[in-house]
Structure 1
Amino acid sequence: MSYKIEPIKTHQDPQVCEIIKKVGAEFGAVGEGFGPSDAEVNAMSQHYKNEDASCYLVATIEEKIVGGSGIAAFNGSDEICELRKLFLLAESRGLGLGKKLTEDCLAFAKVQGYKQCYLDTLTNMTSAISLYEKLGFIHLDTPLAGTIHSGCDVWMLKTL
């Protein structure tokens, strides 16, 4: 099965929003303090732009959007970025898309000059946590100061 990964386009915002909310609900990430409730979810293409040292990548299989992931500055930092909103529909998991999206986001982050990458997630997102560990993220005991996702209970950091 072939897939394509490319930067989000404006016309893809509604489908990406739907995926983020659907997958978030699947894992209990609903309400204040969770990524799917962030205002940016309604128009991801407007919040992730290269000129802002950020990007959101969309994965498609046979022209159908199946998920995405993004990178942006963490709390306005020039040195720490955040891996954001890696969400994949169930039918597209296990194909290596999560790994490819994350690797592409981290490569973008390095080019932008970020030194570290932070993320927060949920304990029940075991496949994602395993992926992050394999890619060199280490667990933190507490979230970085300034995180907006108070509902998350796993925090990780990687040196780029």
Structure 2
Amino acid sequence: MNTPIIRLIEKRDNPQIAKVIRSVLIDFNVPKVGTAYADAALDCMFETYQKPKSSYFVVEENNKIIGGAGIAQLDNYQGNVCELQKMYFLPEARGRGVGMQMMEFCLAKANEFGFEKIYLETMEYMVHAQTLYKKAGFEYIESAIGDTGHYSCPVHMLKKL
């Protein structure tokens, strides 16, 4: 088994990363409405992250995409805050430190872009993800900020950069 490589998304990755994200969401029985599952961006992730101050990274192992995560300006919010977006990993990527490595890539990029804070939304039962977020310095906040359209995600977290 090769060491996983974290790199910026390429156009050719679109079908694989869409499949990874949908697969993970189905595995976790996430609602298909009001979550990332319904996002039009899933099938055009490369194009979605070509806008300023946004990046999406994929994890590749043995020529297969096994996960990804990105950052972009928080939608419908006036402050200098970005959102950690679409951070999902297939079972073979989990428990190997890949999530923390990916988090470091995203936080470094958020700092490089000059954001002051980074926000995320998740499901209450995604406890392993929340453990990673807390380890990375995220704290729970009472309610959503901005409007991502993910009204089915009840857990909101924020980190100062």
Q: Does the pair score TM above 0.5? A: yes
Give aligned pairs, total: 159
Matched position secondary structure for 2:153: coil
Indicate the residue corresponding to 1:61 in structure 2.
61
Q: 2:146 and 2:61 mapped to 1: Cα distance?
A: 37
Letter in 2 for 1:62: N
Write out per-residue CA displacement over residues 59-81 of structure 1, whole angstroms, 9 at most, x where no aligned residue: 01122110100100001556100
The CA RMSD measured in Å over matched residues stands at: 1.3
Give the residue type in structure 2 aligned to 1:66. I
Structure 1: which 5+ runs fail to align? none
Q: Quote the sequence identity (%).
A: 35
SS in 1 for 2:29: coil
User: More displaced, 145-154 or 38-47?
Assistant: 145-154
| Letter paired with 2:42 | V
- Specify the code of the residue in structure 2 equivalent to 1:114: F
Q: Provide the secondary structure at the position in 2 that maps to 1:52.
A: coil
Q: Deviations over 1:121-142 (max 9, x none)?
A: 0011111100000110000111
What per-residue deviation string (whole Å, max 9, x for no partner) do you get for residues 88-126 of structure 1? 001110111111111101100110010000000001111
- Structure 2: unaligned runs, 5 residues or longer: none
Partner of 1:119: 120
Map of 2:33 onto structure 1:
32
DSSP 3-state at the match of 2:15: helix
More off after superposition, 72-81 vs 12-21? 72-81
